[in-house]
A and B are shown apart, each in its own frame.
Chain A
Amino acid sequence: MTPSRRCMLQNAGFGFGLLALQALLGQNRALGLIPDATEPNSHKTHHHAKAKSIIFLFMEGGPSHIDLFDPKPRLEQLSGQPLPPSFKPIITPMGEYNAPLMPSKRTWKQHGNSGTWVSDWLPHTAQHVDDLAVIRSCWGNGLNHSNGVCQMNTGSTLGGRPSLGSWVTYGLGTENESLPAFVVIEDDDGKVINGPRNWSAGFMPATYQGTALHSSGDPIRNLSAPDPSSPQRQDSKRKLIDALNRKHQASRSIDSELEARIRSYELAYRMQSQAPEAVDLAQESHSTLQLYGIDEKETNVFGRNCLMARRLVERGVRFVQLYHGSGSRWDAHSGIEKNHSTLCRASDRPIAGLDPGDLGRRIRSYPHERKRGRTGP
């Protein structure tokens, strides 16, 4: 019996909060409000939490779960019929109230020791099912992409709440102050629905907001010095700022914020050298690149992002969110065969590649924003 699990899953960012929390309790390095609530009786988890970071793979546009992980045999039998009356009245965004049901065209197989069903669209991921927990009971109430994505990220269909990555960084802090604790990588820059609102800190301080990593130019906005040809110039500016700030702070030591500001410049400087290194795949071996599908045209883009994510968490980044299909590209409608074939092909191998030896310390997730129904034309 797991008394509290469901209610936790429902109440905190669709469950990831729970996992983060285990790490939190295990490591006892929480910040902010959380220690208050755990301290008094020094309760501990019954086992040491291993997860230290999360790679959150967001398939944007809503992949059809009933064609990937959640086979529906009854759908075969009900093919061509209307929705059974046992269902409550439904609201669909496109008005297909009376469309007949349509079964999945996939071939299904059970995999691994767990016997988890996976469709033939995800042959690589299927090889790792024993490391996966498939949650089929997840629900949301966002009717459209925008509010579904918002809910999946923040727990609410309406904007303004902190995103999951913000909560995790708020709870766990960071292990590498020279890199942002919460990083977001889109497979198509600037296309993700809702934009930065998905990784915003909502009402929490901006410290906890996600930092978008860009695939071209500076990986982090404003990372490189305005005149990269002259490192001395940057150095001299940095020293000047430091000298002026330290002098100012010396007579104002009662305000620790001023000290924090001085430190923020040191961190920014370290980030300048560490961030490009963290995302530089040139150092990876050929077999690693191959593992992530970086050797193939179809899987190259997302493979690179997955490998980057791995490099980031290896360097202590707490939460990496990867978007695949940015711009609701998983939204297939009547073109599901072509759409999902292409997108599964593009993402399956890279995701399966995220299987390094120390995976035990990582949580990988594969959520999307909506529950798919299946009706025919």
Chain B
Amino acid sequence: MLLRLPSKLTHLPATTLLVLWAIALAFSHPIAWSQEQVSAKFFEERIRPSLIEHCIACHGPDKSESGLRLDRPELFKLGGQSGSILDGQKPVESLLLQALRHEGLEMPPNKKLPDEQIEAFEAWVLAGASWPEYVKELSVATDKEKISQADREYWFFQPLSDPAVPALGFSNPIDAFISEKLQAQGLSLGQNADESVLVRRLYLDLLGVPPTFDDLQEYLASPSVDAQGQSRYEGLVDKLLTDARYGHRWGRFWLDLVRFAESDGFKQDDFRPSAYRYRDYVISALNEDIPYSQFITEQLAGDELDPTSDRMNAATGYLRHWIYEYNQRDVRSHWDNILNDVTDVTGEALLGLGFSCARCHDHKFDPLLQKDYYRLQAFFAPMEPRYDIPSVASSVETRRESLEAWRECAEPVRGELEKLERETRSKVVDAAIEKFPPDVRPALRKTQAEQEPEERSIAVLAYLQIANELKGLDFSKKLNGQELVQWKFWKKHDEELKKGMPKEPEMALTVRDIGSRGPKVTIAGKPSAGEVYPEAPSVLGERFPLEVRSQGQSTGRRMALARWITDPDNPLAWRVIVNRVWQHHFGKGLVANASDFGRLGEPPTHPELLDFLAQQMIEQGGRFKPLHRLMVTSQTYRQSSYPLERAQGQAIDPENRWLWRFAPRRLDADQIRDSILVVSRSIDPRTGGPSDANDSNRRSIYQRVMRNSPNAFLATFDAPDGSVSVARRNTTTTSLQSLFLTNSAWMVRKSEGYAKRLMTQEQTSRARIELMFRENLLRDATDEEIRWIEQSLENPQGSDPSGAWSDACQALWNTSEFLYIE
């Protein structure tokens, strides 16, 4: 690598280092870091482990050689017989650093630390050698001791409480909880939004698309209270919750969370033809409103519930969304990465904890031990990706007869070919095996029955590559003489026969366990620390002794995990899921970092409400729809975004943390695209089935998700690329978005289509403008707006007047009014 440098690089100040650490750290935590957090993180990752491992045995509570103790901050600063180990004037020449560099004193005495560790100390000393405030002493702790009382008492690990609804006279308990906090701030719930604003909000929120003008009119014309005394708004909520488009909207969030995509994600980025079945599973599960516990269990262990069920095979697609590299010879690392990926996503998405931080060391802020990471991973370790289970079991049956008939003709030819190809094949396989690392090869030469559990999944990955090589084999280049002539003869027949071969059934993207016995799982890099078993994290372990029962061809581990995660007594999953639902309705969760409820996130703004909602969801059988209903019928949800009385709210709580108004938000990528499809009436209403490769007129959830070539529209508006779990999409405002919305061929097609219809439907300019406002912005145009549009029509537009109408319509789609929910 070559750098062209502006000038010679010399010493760098320590702040530089800390800032850089902030950057490096932000790689793993997309949240803002305070100076204290950055310093603490540096201390925890680079300094503490070294002090414990290399120093405190001799300079600690047991022995304090030369009167020096490095296990407590005050003793560290005090120094030893040789005085202070830090030099305030010339920090670089501090005794501590000299000793570490083996200049004079040599510490540790036997072996100098690796350069990068010494450099870490240097940087730390230059920055002031500060210890995080909470570190009172360092000690080598046992696993059990590592979990402190404070850890055990951390709010997230406490059982769900049963908070009493504040008696403030609200019929919806959410309003009572919210009002209580608002009152404490000297605020109160604001006025309700206009009904038409509210109806639009509800449609976009529950269905992902706006109502049509007719929908809105119908609603406004209906009696405000029905015969049963239910308000028309509540009636609408019920109606929308049974609308199938609900699943399209809310399924999207789940797909983001599990980093759903339909391609491998590496060089080849191969398409996964049956991945869509997982998407359809999610949509239908949400529309059917199956209990959350069932939803999770089917995805984690559907194969153990019913291996013959197509639905379960689709659901376990959850375990197949990892990126796959078709030519990765280092299959061992590849399998590790796959397991890490599944572990990380499960930790974040289902448990709301940043497990990935504990992959290489104990989590520095949360009581998650490195061992806990591998405990979680051990649930997944026995799984094996399968490529031979049809997506639709019955397709095998229906195909059987025709296949048998075909085989009768084909088999003799195939037999001849097979005879001629056998030797070459076996040579190619042998050579292919040799391309794998030596420690992998023995497993590849064993039969499946001979393979140890630790060898199985690695062998599966290797076999995929070998099969790929065989597939690309050209025998015409491998055979000679008479054999070649014969081969060509039979091959020609075979090609003919192939044309009549019944179509291969589509194979499911699913998994099975390798058998009833799982592989031995150890901590990466620490095999001597012994086997790690599937268990709940230490901090909760005592309360949740897990029972893993193998069944048939499964270890039963994933089933045990699913049972634990969805146990009503497990405090994690239920808080996490209700918070996600809250976040999508209100724009921000009660816990702001929806996938990290640990200390790196923010504490809940309304802890009682969070527990109340979790309890409610459990009481409702773990179903989502009653929870949605509770939220969207609250007055909190129905507030205006721009209450007339807002001075106080703005002054006291400009961030709207306490919800004195409904926070407006930009539509997300899917909502924008789908809204335009709806208002332009170009939407293709067909649902389900394989995704559309070329930007079709179906909803965005049906557009194909290729990790390396994302849909241009969706990517421009912050849609995730399916690589990592996304709990909440970013919202950006960029000029590239403006360029897309004003100039792209897609927009032009849609607006031209719209203009054409508009011009046939209405004859006068005024009528057209009025209709356009109603259809797109769900309201009447003002006189001023009518004038503006008319002016824009007057400008020279060439010969085609439809162009001007198309532009005017595009302009409406570019308004903030159209692009925001309020």
Interface residues of chain A, those whose CB is within 8 Å of chain B, are: 1-8, 10-12, 14-19, 21-22, 24-25, 32-34, 36-41, 43-47, 49-51, 69, 89, 91-95, 97, 128, 131-135, 138, 143-147, 155-156, 158-162, 167, 171, 177, 180, 193-197, 200, 202-207, 211, 220-227, 229-230, 232-233, 235-241, 243-245, 247-249, 251-252, 254-255, 257-258, 260-262, 264-265, 267-268, 271-272, 359-368
Cβ of A153 to closest chain B Cβ, rounded Å: 13
Taking the nearest CB of chain A, how far is it from the CB of B1, in angstroms? 4
B164 near A: Cβ within 8 Å? no
* Interface check B184, CB cutoff 8 A: no
A248 touches B817 (CB 8 A): yes
Choose one: A36, A94, A254; the contact of B646 (CB below 8 Å).
A254
B788 within 8 A of A: yes
**Contact of B15 (CB < 8 Å), options: A10, A38, A156, A205:** A38
Is B27's CB under 8 angstroms from A161's CB? yes
Residues of A within 8 A of B437 (CB): 89, 91
Residues in B neighbouring A195, C-beta threshold 8 A: 269, 708-709
Q: Does B812 contact A (CB under 8 A)?
A: yes
Residues of B718-742 contacting chain A, CB below 8 A = 718, 721, 723-724, 726, 730-740, 742
Q: What distance in Å separates the Cβ of B456 from its nearest Cβ neighbour in chain A?
A: 20
Shortest B649–chain A CB gap in Å is: 9
Contact B115 A18 (CB under 8 A): no
Decide: A21 near B20, CB < 8 A? Known: A43-B13, A92-B329.
Answer: yes
B339 to chain A, nearest CB (A): 13
List A contacts of B398 (CB < 8 A): none
Asked if B792 and A239 sit within 8 Å, CB to CB, the answer is yes
Please tell me which one of the listed residues B717, B735, B815 contacts residue A271 in the complex, with CB atoms under 8 A apart: B735
A230 touches B797 (CB 8 A): yes
Q: Which of A44, A222, A229, A238 has the most CB of B within 10 A?
A: A222
**Given A10-B116, A244-B788, A15 and B3 touching (CB < 8 A)?**
yes
20 extra interface residue pairs, beta carbon distance < 8 Å, beyond A264-B738, A265-B738, A268-B735: A15-B1, A18-B12, A37-B35, A93-B329, A95-B435, A128-B4, A144-B327, A158-B323, A158-B723, A193-B267, A202-B724, A221-B739, A233-B797, A233-B807, A244-B785, A245-B815, A245-B816, A248-B815, A364-B3, A366-B2
Q: Which of A3, A159, A248, A257 contacts B265 (CB 8 A)?
A: A159
Q: Which residues of A contact B797 (CB under 8 A)?
A: 230, 232-233
User: Is B221 positioned at the interface, with any CB of A under 8 Å from its CB?
Assistant: no
Given contact pairs A38-B15, A223-B739, A237 touches B798 in the complex (Cβ within 8 A): no
Q: Is the CB of B19 within 8 A of A93?
A: no
Which residues of A lie under 8 Å from residue B7 when comparing CB positions? 47, 50, 360
- Whether A240 contacts B807 by the Cβ 8 Å rule is yes
B810 within 8 A of A: yes
Q: Report the separation of the CA atoms of residues A368 and B126 in the bound assembly, to the nearest whole angstrom.
A: 34
Decide if B13 touches A18 in the complex (CB within 8 Å).
no
Chain B interface size, as a band, is 35 or more
The CA-CA distance from A233 to B2 in the complex, in Å, is: 49
B789 located at the interface, meaning its Cβ lies under 8 Å from any Cβ of chain A in the complex: yes
Residue of A138, A155, A194 touching B27 (CB-CB under 8 A):
A155
Q: Are B116 and A233 in contact (CB under 8 A)?
A: no
Say whether B664 contacts A147, CB under 8 Å. no
**Which residue of chain B lies nearest to A209 when distances are taken between CB atoms in the complex?**
B715
Contact of A221 among B328, B434, B712 (CB under 8 A): B712
The digit string for B345-388, where 1 denotes a CB below 8 A from any CB of A, is 00000000000000000000000000000000000000000000
| Neighbour of B11 across the interface among A2, A11, A205, CB < 8 A | A2
B796 at the interface (CB under 8 A from A): yes
Contact B721 A159 (CB under 8 A): yes
* Interchain CA distance A133-B2 in the complex, whole Å: 6
Q: Digit string of B811-822 for contact with A (CB within 8 Å is 1, else 0)?
A: 110111101100
Closest-by-CB residue of A relative to B435 is A95
Known: A6-B119, A264-B734. A36 touches B13 (CB 8 A): no
Query: B329 contacts which chain A residues (CB < 8 A)?
Result: 91-93, 95, 143
> With the chains together, A138 CA to B1 CA distance in Å?
7
Q: Are A46 and B15 CB-contacts (below 8 A) given A17-B20, A205-B718, A236-B795? A: no
Check if B22 sits within 8 Å of A34, measured CB to CB: yes
Query: How far is A89 from B24 in the complex, measured between Cα atoms in Å?
Result: 30
Q: Is the CB of A145 within 8 A of B6?
A: no
Is B10's CB within 8 Å of the partner chain A? yes
Flag whether B470 is at the interface (Cβ < 8 A).
no
